[in-house]
Amino acid sequence: MKRVRSLSPEFLSIITGILFTLSFPPFDLSFLAWFAWIPLWIGLERSGWRNGFRLGYLSGLIFTLGSLNWIGNNSGTSFLIAASSMIGSVLYLSIYFGLFGYLLGKGGQVYGNRVFLFAPLVWSGIEYIYCWGFMGFPWISLAMTQNLFLPVQQLAEYGGIYIVSTWVLLINSAIYAIEFMDRTGRQQKLYWTGLTVFIVATFAFGGVRIWQTSHTDSPTLGVGVVQNNVEPRDKWVREKKQLHVEKLLSQTDLARLEGAKVVIWPETAVPAYLMYYASLYNKINQFVNQNDISILTGSLHHSRLNNELQTYNAAFFFSPDSEVKLYYKQHLVPFAERLPLVDVFPWLKILNFGQANFTPGTESSIYPLGSRSESANFGAMICYESSDPVLFRQFVLNGVQIMTIITNDGWLGHSLGPYQHLAIARLRSIEHRIPIVRSAQTGISAYIRPNGIIDHRILLNHSGYFVVNVPTKHAETIYTKWGDWFGMLMVLGLIVWTSRTLFLLKKRVAR
């Protein structure tokens, strides 16, 4: 322990960032997150509680750069814009880690190293803040660090991702208290026993919930998933569009023969403004009606509103003998699909960074899909939307029975992004105990059970299809009913704690 304390605060901050990177998907060394904060905390204490923001920011910089470097791989834009997006995201998100270090540094001046006992409250409040709103980024919630430990993630059905993150912080605080606060040998043994019991109890409880949610007498519906594995730019070549759709229909027919009543295609699987591309639209519609099957596919759409063209990233719901229904992506990727605040400052529209300039949708629409005799209510989230727990919950509240995620992670190549994107979907399924069917253009397509277990998957950069029988009935969870009650409670606690800490600090300085 003396050796650790002898390291420089900056080096210790870097270690924290590296440990979190390795605990994140796809590395999934989840146990590292249990003590990843401790090097930073030792550095804070060693610095005399100064430079808290700088040390926390450095940890965040290493972590976000290590985990989000895939943003710079975006082949859908120029290298300069992709690199700028990655650098901007890393610099922005690291601010929240800096804020964490700053508040702990201020608290350390009042409470000494006992401040780390309050760390779960401080971090969870901050995490809720950076996950919220149009600039929110739930993608890097510390709940993701437990991707390997599915029993721990079962807590999400009670308080969402924030309760899982709090659990991670509690383990960090407990280990720090045992090893770095003044304890007798006997006390250390006693506390280690208590911590071990707490961890084992969490895993046992999570294991029971996984078992309980694996057994259901719910009716099922056959759902197929197609992964066409087409390079994103290649599918937009005009001469190849018909060929792409014919290949999708061919795989869909194979899925139909294996019992699929609904088949899910990826985001923008049909490379056109589908509603206005008669040959492709009619081909799909005819297939649906002749084969008594539904197809959910991503494509583009546009319409005019107040004499202004509105372009949408959309999901098309084709079902037998029915009018085609549409869902418009609501949570657009900042700077990639739409500039933030463009509605407040219309002059921003003149700026062109290569963004798509889509119009966001406003409704979490669900529609029945299936055969003429069997159907269920489906919802579709498009790509980045699946990281938004608030938006996902709205679909569930609207009565969705089977949730789908359609995405095109092909822009990210063979990077960390597709693996993290899949891990996010597992948390969404656990939060609401709802099945998720995920179709990705280049992967990773998967079926995720309501307990987060991935039953089927198609590997990255492979093509294929699969068919699963998906339950159509699910129980309401505490998180479904009450939403982010835990996160908001942590924010309230953070405000109270910060106010009291700053008051005591001011009072001490006045003396």
**pLDDT tens, 313-333?**
999 999 999 999 999 999 777
CATH of domain 220-473: 3.60.110.10
Average pLDDT over residues 34-50: 94
* Rounded Cα distance, 94 and 61, in Å: 5
Average pLDDT over residues 263-282: 91
Helix (H) or strand (E) holding 312: strand 308-318
What distances in angstroms separate CA 24 from CA 14, 85, 296, one per listed residue? 16, 21, 31
Which residue in the block uniquely carries the two structure tokens 């087409």?
A: 230
pTM: 0.91
Q: Can you give 49-87 as a three-state secondary structure string?
A: CCCHHHHHHHHHHHHHHHHHHHHHHCCCCCHHHHHHHHH
SS3 95: helix
Whether residue 342 is predicted with pLDDT greater than 60 in this model: the reply is no
Whether residue 216 is predicted with pLDDT greater than 80 in this model: the reply is no
pLDDT score at 511: 66
Average pLDDT over residues 267-293: 92
Closest CA to 91 of 123, 110, 65: 65
Question: Which residues make up the CATH 3.60.110.10 domain(s) of the chain?
Answer: 220-473
pLDDT more than 90, % of the chain? 69
pLDDT score at 346: 59
pLDDT more than 70, % of the chain? 92
Whether residue 347 is predicted with pLDDT greater than 50 in this model: the reply is no
pLDDT band at 338 (very low <50, low <70, confident <90, very high): low
Average pLDDT over residues 454-458: 93
Whether residue 76 is predicted with pLDDT greater than 70 in this model: the reply is no
pLDDT band at 225 (very low <50, low <70, confident <90, very high): very high
pLDDT score at 360: 83
Residue 299 CB neighbour total at 10 angstroms? 24
pLDDT score at 368: 95
Average pLDDT over residues 447-463: 94
Mean pLDDT value across the chain: 90
**244-283: burial string, b at 16+ Cβ within 10 Å, e else:** bbebbbebbbebbeeebbbbbbbbbbbbbbbbebeebbeb
Residue 504 CB neighbour total at 10 angstroms? 15
Average pLDDT over residues 198-210: 97
pLDDT score at 345: 53
* Rounded Cα distance, 120 and 246, in Å: 53
